[in-house]
A and B are shown apart, each in its own frame.
Chain A
Amino acid sequence: AQSVAQPEDQVNVAEGNPLTVKCTYSVSGNPYLFWYVQYPNRGLQFLLKYITGDNLVKGSYGFEAEFNKSQTSFHLKKPSALVSDSALYFCAVRANSGGYQKVTFGTGTKLQVIP
């Protein structure tokens, strides 16, 4: 069975500082990995994905994520946080084995950027 862990319920960071939101995963086979952002009472917005290739993936709004196979991690990063980045962030994993595969989401991490 596949799973995703987001160990931090909430991350606080000062505006202008770098931010990291952690994610680890467990899946059989090679993973597809995703990050989504959710603003209050809105749907999830896709930020970025890892399928294969370069371990550093760049996405929307200046976010990037680093795939680390040995640590089974896919942490979300941004060099300089903005107040508008404050939102709920979800990591997700899907097994890469052909056909339909269920996407499993983490429980979410609330990011609070302090002015």
Chain B
Amino acid sequence: SQTIHQWPATLVQPVGSPLSLECTVEGTSNPNLYWYRQAAGRGLQLLFYSVGIGQISSEVPQNLSASRPQDRQFILSSKKLLLSDSGFYLCAWSSTLPGGPEAFFGQGTRLTVV
């Protein structure tokens, strides 16, 4: 069966420091991968999605970037964090096979920028 791992679960970082959040998927090949941010415990904002290695699409301009160095690895990064980057970050994957359009989410990372 497929599983998705996201770490760390919580992170407190000072303003101006770098960020690296990692997400890996097991048990599937060539998944679609996503990074979402959830603010104030409610709405989900799609930040990045990837349909293959090295293929990253950004949904909104921001202080963050994403990379997909391997098929099942998706990394969210920042060179210098801002206070406004605080939030709950969720990684997700979906299958590219027909009949499997639903996304499956990791457990999330609570990022607090201080």
**Chain A interface (Cβ within 8 Å of chain B)?**
32, 34, 36, 40-46, 49, 51, 88, 90, 92, 94, 96, 100, 102-103, 105, 107-108
Contact = CB atoms under 8 A, between A and B. Distances in A.
A90 B92 CA distance: 15
A43 B102 contact: no
A55 B21 CA distance: 39
Given A43-B6, A100-B49, A49 B101 contact: yes
A1 to B, nearest CB: 13
B101 A43 contact: no
Contact of B49 (A96, A102, A105): A102
19 contacts: A34-B102, A34-B103, A41-B110, A42-B108, A43-B90, A43-B92, A44-B44, A44-B92, A46-B103, A49-B101, A51-B101, A88-B42, A94-B101, A96-B101, A102-B46, A103-B46, A103-B103, A105-B44, A108-B43
A102 to B, nearest CB: 6
Interface string B103-114: 111111010000
Nearest to B43: A107
Contacts of B101: 32, 34, 49, 51, 94, 96
A43 B49 contact: no
B43 A44 contact: no
B32 A100 contact: yes
Nearest to A92: B103
B102 A49 contact: yes
B104 A46 contact: yes
Nearest to A52: B99
A85 B108 CA distance: 20
A43 B43 contact: no
Contacts of A44: 44, 90, 92, 105
6 closest cross-chain pairs (CB), A and B: A43-B105, A44-B105, A105-B44, A32-B101, A43-B107, A107-B43
A63 to B, nearest CB: 14
A94 B49 CA distance: 14
